[in-house]
Amino acid sequence: MWAARFFKTRSLAQKAVAAGRVKLNGERTKSAHEVRAGDRLAVGEWQIQVKDLSDKRGPAEQARKLYEETAASRAERERRADLRRWGSEPARGRKGRPTKRDRRLLDGLPLLDADAPDDREL
């Protein structure tokens, strides 16, 4: 997985396997388990079939030749990308700090005194 560029470092790949985020042939696996050509891996949202193995990390072009993504996985990733692209931005309603104009408008509002003596005892 490190040579195929799914993870930036080997230790990150090992941690993902230990956390159960990587499945080999549909089942959880250990980092010491050997992967063979023809095995199916589920790495996050990627569903791949291992075509070849490499002990060295090479360029991205060479890494793409090590696996083949399933059609269902590719369609699901594209669907999720479309949802992210066309979905609403969650922080759009939040503005952050008020501008100078906003502060002036807020200052112009009448203040309500919370401790005003409304009920006077007679």
For the sheet with 22-24, list strands across it: 27-28, 22-24, 40-43, 46-50, 67-69
| Tens of pLDDT, residues 34-84 | 888 888 888 888 888 888 888 888 888 888 888 888 899 889 989 988 888
What percentage of the chain has pLDDT greater than the value 70?
87
Q: Considering the domain boundaries, does residue 39 fall inside one?
A: yes
69 closest CA partner among 52, 46, 37, 53: 46
Q: Considering the domain boundaries, does residue 54 fall inside one?
A: yes
How many domains is the chain built from?
Answer: 1
> What pLDDT does 119 receive?
57
CA 114 to chain centre: 46
29 closest CA partner among 14, 49, 8: 14
Any idea what the CATH number is for the domain that residue 46 is in? 3.10.290.10
Q: Considering the domain boundaries, does residue 100 fall inside one?
A: no
Q: Which domain holds residue 44?
A: 10-82
Query: Tell me, what amino acid is at 90?
Result: P
